[in-house]
């Protein structure tokens, strides 16, 4: 197991190198630069700024310098969007927000998705199945930029239970400020979880060992809870890895709708502002998260399914 983990961690190196290289060259290829503005910046001012940030050097040299700083000092470079902060600082301040929202969203997704999925699988082709699956379908079809405002209007404006924006508690809201954004994401991911749980459970419920358990006279709840659920969760677990990486690294849309100071926002801002180091920094961070969570998923898989362990 340790060897397996180490091997996977080593794979991170080539993956990151490719990600950095591709992102670096692609972002530099885009027209416009970090300092272009509607009101023209004088050429000598532009030249000074480029020199200050080392953007006047040949691209290859910039690339190598970036790699060197990253490897030797873990330095992701200065941000142009936030002149008083480095990219490391930008991530350090915005990631905790996205982490909180994302984790809560994931919990909500599981709390909503798994029971619905199990219910749908056990009562296959019944009203409960149709209800759960149409809920799931609408959850998938309703994008977060529609769901977010709906939740904000209903729970924020009408009922005044939660915040319509930001992290400061609004008026008499009693829900934590991150609840509505987390619910927006939770409903969307919960819908996927429900569908995946259903199909996973359906497959397992037809297996021989379930039939054996039933034949032995094990109660229906115990069959599902003790025997089926563990195996039925396999597709959900595979989905959770990348989903969790995506959730905790922040959703641009939800952060925009609820005005949260999270990482998803920085990701998009970096791209729009041609903030090369912010683009690279957030992409690297996301890539590391993806690889780590996929590794975690593999470990959980091995725990859930003895066949993988061998």
The contact set with another protein (CB under 8 A) reads: 30-33, 36-42, 44-46, 48-49, 52, 78, 81-85, 93-94, 149, 152-153, 156-161, 164-168, 170-172, 256-259, 261, 265, 272-274
Closest listed residue to residue 50, CA positions, set 63, 36, 64, 60: 36
Please, which residue, 164 or 205, has the CB nearer to another protein?
A: 164
Number of Cβ within a 10 Å radius of residue 11: 13
Least distance from C-beta 129 to another protein, angstroms? Answer: 31
204 is written with which tokens? 């397992």
d(CA 151, CA 158) in angstroms, rounded, equals: 10
Query: What is the DSSP code (8-state) at residue 177?
Result: T
**Packing angle of the helix pair 234-248, 87-122 (nearest 10 deg):** 150
Please, which residue, 156 or 246, has the CB nearer to another protein?
A: 156
Least distance from C-beta 51 to another protein, angstroms? Answer: 9
Number of Cβ within a 10 Å radius of residue 141: 10
Least distance from C-beta 39 to another protein, angstroms? Answer: 6
Least distance from C-beta 60 to another protein, angstroms? Answer: 23
Query: What is the DSSP code (8-state) at residue 126?
Result: S
Least distance from C-beta 235 to another protein, angstroms? Answer: 35
Between the CA of residue 160 and those of 27, 79, 257, what are the distances in Å? 43, 38, 17
Please, which residue, 17 or 157, has the CB nearer to another protein?
A: 157
Least distance from C-beta 165 to another protein, angstroms? Answer: 5
Please, which residue, 10 or 37, has the CB nearer to another protein?
A: 37
Least distance from C-beta 140 to another protein, angstroms? Answer: 23
Please, which residue, 166 or 219, has the CB nearer to another protein?
A: 166
d(CA 217, CA 211) in angstroms, rounded, equals: 10
d(CA 281, CA 52) in angstroms, rounded, equals: 19
| 285 in Cβ contact with 222 (< 8 Å) | no
| 119 in Cβ contact with 133 (< 8 Å) | no
Please, which residue, 56 or 308, has the CB nearer to another protein?
A: 56
Please, which residue, 35 or 63, has the CB nearer to another protein?
A: 35
């Amino acid at each position: 197991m340790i060897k397996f983990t180490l091997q996977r961690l080593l794979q991170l190196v080539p993956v990151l190198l490719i990600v950095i290289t591709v992102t670096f060259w692609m972002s530099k290829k885009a027209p416009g630069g970090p300092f272009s503005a509607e009101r023209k910046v004088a050429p000598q001012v532009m030249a000074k700024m480029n020199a200050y940030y080392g953007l006047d050097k040949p691209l290859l040299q910039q690339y190598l310098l970036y790699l060197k700083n990253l490897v030797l000092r873990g330095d992701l470079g200065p941000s142009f969007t936030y002149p008083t902060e480095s990219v490391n600082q930008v991530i350090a301040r915005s990631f905790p927000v996205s982490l909180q929202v994302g984790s809560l969203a994931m919990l909500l997704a599981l709390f909503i998705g798994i029971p619905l999925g199990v219910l749908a699988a056990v009562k296959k082709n019944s009203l409960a199945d149709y209800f759960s699956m149409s809920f799931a379908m609408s959850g998938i079809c309703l994008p977060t930029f529609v769901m977010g405002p709906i939740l904000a209007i209903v729970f924020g404006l009408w009922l005044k239970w939660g915040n319509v924006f930001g992290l400061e508690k609004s008026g008499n809201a009693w829900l934590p400020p991150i609840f509505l954004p987390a619910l927006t994401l939770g409903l969307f991911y919960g819908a996927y979880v429900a569908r995946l749980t259903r199909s996973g459970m359906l497959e397992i419920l037809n297996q021989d060992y379930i039939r054996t358990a039933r034949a032995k006279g094990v109660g229906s709840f115990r069959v599902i809870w003790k025997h089926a659920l563990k195996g039925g969760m396999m597709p959900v677990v595979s989905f959770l890895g990348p989903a969790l990486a995506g959730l905790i690294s922040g959703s641009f849309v939800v952060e925009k709708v609820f005005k949260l100071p999270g990482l998803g926002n920085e990701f998009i801002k970096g791209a729009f502002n041609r903030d090369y180091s912010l683009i690279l920094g957030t992409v690297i961070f996301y890539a590391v998260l993806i690889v780590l969570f996929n590794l975690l998923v593999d470990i959980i898989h091995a725990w859930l399914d003895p066949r993988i362990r061998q």
